[in-house]
Structure 1
Amino acid sequence: MQQPILRVARPTNDIDRVADFYTAGLGFAVLARFEDHDGFDGIIVGRTGCQWHLEFTHQHGVSVEDAPTKEHLLVLYLPDRDEWSAAVAGLHAFGATPVTSENPWWDHHGITFEDPDGYRIVLQNAAWG
C-alpha cells in the first residue's frame, strides 16, 4: 500500500529565486518542474525518498503578496546536530540571514530564516514528539 504524501503548495512571483533558496540554500532536490500548465508555471522541491515536498507556482499575469504574517512557518525538525549544522551553514552560504522568531519558542532550539517571499522556515535542532 502506498503511503500518503504531504505537499505544501503556495504561489510566488519568482519561482527561480524561491527555488534557489530551497535547493542551493537547503540542499533540496528539484523533483519536478512544469510550465504553462493551464496558465501556471511551477516547481516541486524536496528530499528524495521523503513523504513530503513543497510546490511553488506562479499564475501568468497574477502578482501575489509576500507572506501575510511572521507566524507563517515551515518547521523542519533536524534532530541530528551535524545535519542541522549543515542546513544552517547552507543557508548562511546562500546569503540568508537568521531572523528572530515572533514566537520565542523557536529560538530555544532552532534558527529561523525568511525565504525570498517573506515566509519563514525554522530549522529546529530537536526531535518532534
Structure 2
Amino acid sequence: MSAPTTSPPAPAPTTTPGALPTPKTHLRLARPSLSLPAAEKFYVHGLGLSVLYRSPPQGTHPDQHPEDLIMLGYPSGGWHLELVHGVGEAGSPFPVPKPTEEDLLVLYVEGPVDQGLVDRMVEAGGRRVVARNGYWERWGVMVKDPDGYGVVLCTRGWENVAVE
C-alpha cells in the first residue's frame, strides 16, 4: 500500500508581479546524508568549505527544520550545499541515499587539480574513484564523499552561455 500523496500549498495570490530567478539567484543543493559528522569532515576538512549554518538541537527552536541539517559552502559564495540527516530511520521522511553515477557536485577549478586537495579529501573520508563518464576522467578528478556522491574537481572553466 502506497503512502497518500499531498500537493504543496498554492502560492498566496499577489496583486504585484512576483520575484523571478535571475543570474544572481543563490543556489542551494540539498541532499540526504547518513552521517552529518562524516560529511562535515569530508567537505570542511577535505574540500575546504565552511559551515554556514547548523540546525539547533531538536526541540530548542519553534521554527526549526524537522531534521538535523548543516549548510556548507564558501562565505559570500553564490551556492551552498545542504546536508540533511535522519535518513533511513523509522518514521523518517527521507530514504537512505542511493546516489547514481550522475549525482555529481562539479567544481570548475580552471587549472590543474591540486594533489594535496585530493589527498585531504581522501584523508577526510572520501574515496578516489575513476569516473564512469570519460569526460570527467579526462578533465578532472572524482572523489566520492562518505555517502557515495561524486565530487568532481574539473580542470576546465565554465561560463553560462545560452545555445538558442
**TM-score by shorter chain over 0.5:** yes
Q: Which residue of 1 aligns with 2:44?
A: 23
Displacement of 1:65 in angstroms is: 2.1
Highest Rg: 1 or 2? 2
Q: Deviations over 1:77-129 (max 9, x none)?
A: 00143xx3053243144353310111110011200011011111100011114
Paired residue for 1:73, among 98, 104, 125?
Answer: 104
Q: Which residue of 2 aligns with 1:43?
A: 70
Figure out how many residues of one structure are paired with residues of the other and give that number.
Answer: 127
CA contact (8 A) 1:12 1:64 kept: no
Distance 1:33 1:95 in 2: 20
Distance 2:30 2:151 in 1: 14
> 1:35-114, aligned counterparts within 5 Å?
35=56, 36=58, 37-59=64-86, 61=89, 62=92, 64-81=95-112, 84-85=113-114, 86-114=116-144
Higher strand proportion: 1
Distance 2:132 2:111 in 1: 25
The CA RMSD measured in Å over matched residues stands at 2.3
Displacement of 1:28 in angstroms is: 0.4
**Which stretch shifts more, 53-62 or 23-32?**
53-62
Higher helix proportion: 1
Runs of 4+ in 1 over 6 A off after TM superposition: none
Structure 1 vs Structure 2: percent identity of aligned residues? Answer: 34
CA contact (8 A) 1:39 1:59 kept: no
Give 5+ residue unaligned stretches, structure 2: 1-23, 59-63, 160-164
Distance 1:16 1:59 in 2: 13
Give 5+ residue unaligned stretches, structure 1: none
Using a 3 Å threshold, how does the CA distance of structure 1 residues 59 and 65 change in structure 2: closer, same or farther? Answer: closer
Distance 2:31 2:125 in 1: 23
Distance 1:115 1:20 in 2: 10
- Larger relative contact order (C-alpha < 8 A, sep ≥ 6)? 1
SS in 2 for 1:40: coil
Q: Which residue of 1 aligns with 2:14?
A: none
Q: Deviations over 1:24-67 (max 9, x none)?
A: 10010001100333421110000112110000012384363233
TM-score by length of 1: 0.85
